[in-house]
C-alpha cells in the first residue's frame, strides 16, 4: 500500500519536529483514527457475510488505509516518518491494534523507541544515551519548579526550564524580583515569592529591598545585610498662584489706610481742577461790556444824496 504524503505541507513550518516528536504525532493520529473506525464496517449492509468473505474489519486493509493514511493530517515530518516505516507499520496493524492490552504490540515502544531509536523509553530521560533528567533532594525533576527540556527525546538537550520566578540548575533559586521564602527539602518544593513592587531585588518582604525600582529612593538607614526600604521621593513644594498673591497683598491693606488714600486723591482733584464757567453767561457779559460803534459820516451823506436823486 502506498501512503499519500503531503510533502509540500511541511514547508514553511515554524519549528521542525524531531524524529521522536514526529513518531509521537503519528502514534496520536493512528490512535485517533482507530477509535473513529472501531465500530464501523465495510458498509455493505451485511456485516457477517462481508467478514466471512473479506475477513475481519478490525484488521482489514480498508480500515488500515483509513487509519494510517490520514493519521498525519498533512504534517511533513510525521508523513516522512510514516513513509520510512510504512511496511513495518502495516505489519503491526495486521497483528490487531484492538487486541487485549497484554497481547497488543505497543506502537510507541515498537517504532519510536526500538526501530527508529528516536525516543527514550523513559519519559524522564533525554539525549543520545537517555540520561535521567536532573532531580533535587525532594526527588522531583527540577525541584518540581520546572520541566526537563527534551524529556523522552534522544535529541533533547536536557537541563531544567524553570517556571517564572525560579532559576538555577535545579530551579531551586529565585530570579530577580523574587526572594526565597522556603528552601527545598526532602519533602517540600522551594518557594519563591515576588518582592514588593518598589524593590528592584530583595531578600524578603517590607524593608528588605536590595535596590529600588525606577521612581523610588532609599528610605531610612541601610541594614547590615545591605537591605533597606524604598519610598517615592518627596515632591517639591508647589508655588502659590499669582491670583493668591494679589489677594494676599490686598488683604494686607488696612481699612484706615484705604480711607486716607481715598481722601488724599479727592483733595488733590479739587485743588488742581479749574473753576468751571458757563459758556453762555460769559458770552453775554462780553457783548454788554463792549461800547457801541460810532456811525461813519460818509454813510450819512451818501444816503441823503440817494434820497434826493430819486425825487
pLDDT tens-digit map of 8-17: 444 444 468 9
**Dist. CA 173–CA 184, nearest whole Å:** 9
The residue that leads in pLDDT, 300 or 128, is 128
pLDDT tens-digit map of 213-263: 999 999 999 999 999 999 999 888 887 776 655 544 444 445 555 555 555
**CB environment 16-43: b (16+ within 10 A), e (fewer):** ebbbbbbbbbbbebbeebbeebeeebbe
**Dist. CA 29–CA 67, nearest whole Å:** 8
For residue 29, what is its C-alpha cell?
493520529
User: Looking at residue 256, what is its pLDDT?
Assistant: 54
**Dist. CA 71–CA 84, nearest whole Å:** 15
Per-domain boundaries in the chain: 7-115, 125-172
Q: Is the pLDDT at 113 greater than 50, yes or no?
A: yes
pLDDT tens-digit map of 167-194: 999 999 999 899 999 999 999 999 999 9
Residue 199 CB partners (closer than 8 Å, separation 6+) = 177, 208, 209, 210, 211, 212, 213, 230
Q: Compute the average pLDDT of residues 29-39.
A: 91
pLDDT tens-digit map of 46-56: 455 445 444 57
Q: What is the model's pTM?
A: 0.61
In the chain, the N- to C-terminal Cα span, in Å, equals: 167
Q: Compute the average pLDDT of residues 257-273.
A: 50
User: Looking at residue 46, what is its pLDDT?
Assistant: 46
Closest to 210 (Cα-Cα) out of 220, 309, 292, 222: 222
pLDDT tens-digit map of 79-107: 999 999 999 999 999 998 888 888 889 99
Amino acid at each position: 500500500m502506498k501512503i499519500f504524503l503531503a510533502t509540500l505541507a511541511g514547508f514553511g513550518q515554524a519549528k521542525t519536529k524531531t524524529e521522536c516528536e514526529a513518531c509521537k504525532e503519528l502514534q496520536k493520529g493512528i490512535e485517533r483514527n482507530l477509535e473513529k473506525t472501531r465500530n464501523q464496517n465495510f458498509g455493505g449492509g451485511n456485516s457477517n457475510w462481508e467478514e466471512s468473505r473479506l475477513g475481519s474489519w478490525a484488521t482489514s486493509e480498508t480500515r488500515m488505509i483509513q487509519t494510517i493514511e490520514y493519521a498525519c493530517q498533512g504534517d511533513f515530518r510525521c508523513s516522512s516518518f510514516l513513509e520510512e516505516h510504512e511496511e513495518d507499520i502495516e505489519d503491526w496493524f495486521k497483528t490487531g491494534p484492538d487486541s487485549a492490552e497484554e497481547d497488543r504490540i505497543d506502537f510507541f515502544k515498537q517504532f519510536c523507541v526500538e526501530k527508529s531509536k528516536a525516543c527514550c523509553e523513559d519519559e524522564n530521560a533525554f539525549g543520545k544515551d537517555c540520561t535521567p533528567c536532573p532531580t533535587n533532594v525532594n526527588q522531583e525533576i527540577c525541584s518540581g519548579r520546572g520541566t526537563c527540556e527534551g524529556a523522552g527525546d534522544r535529541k533533547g538537550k536536557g537541563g531544567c526550564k524553570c517556571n517564572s520566578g525560579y532559576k538555577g540548575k535545579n530551579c531551586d533559586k529565585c530570579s530577580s524580583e523574587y526572594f526565597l521564602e522556603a528552601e527545598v527539602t526532602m519533602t517540600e518544593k522551594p518557594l519563591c515569592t515576588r518582592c514588593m513592587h518598589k524593590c528592584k531585588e530583595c531578600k524578603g518582604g517590607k524593608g528588605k529591598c536590595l535596590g529600588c525600582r525606577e521612581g523610588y529612593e532609599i528610605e531610612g538607614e541601610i541594614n547590615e545585610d545591605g537591605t533597606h526600604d524604598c519610598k517615592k521621593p518627596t515632591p517639591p513644594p508647589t508655588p502659590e498662584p499669582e491670583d493668591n498673591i494679589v489677594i494676599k497683598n490686598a488683604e494686607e491693606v488696612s481699612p484706615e489706610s484705604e480711607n486716607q488714600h481715598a481722601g488724599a486723591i479727592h483733595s488733590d482733584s479739587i485743588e488742581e481742577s479749574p473753576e468751571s464757567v458757563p459758556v453762555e453767561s460769559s458770552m453775554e457779559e462780553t457783548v454788554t461790556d463792549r461800547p457801541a460803534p460810532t456811525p461813519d459820516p460818509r454813510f450819512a451823506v451818501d444816503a441823503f444824496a440817494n434820497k434826493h436823486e430819486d425825487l
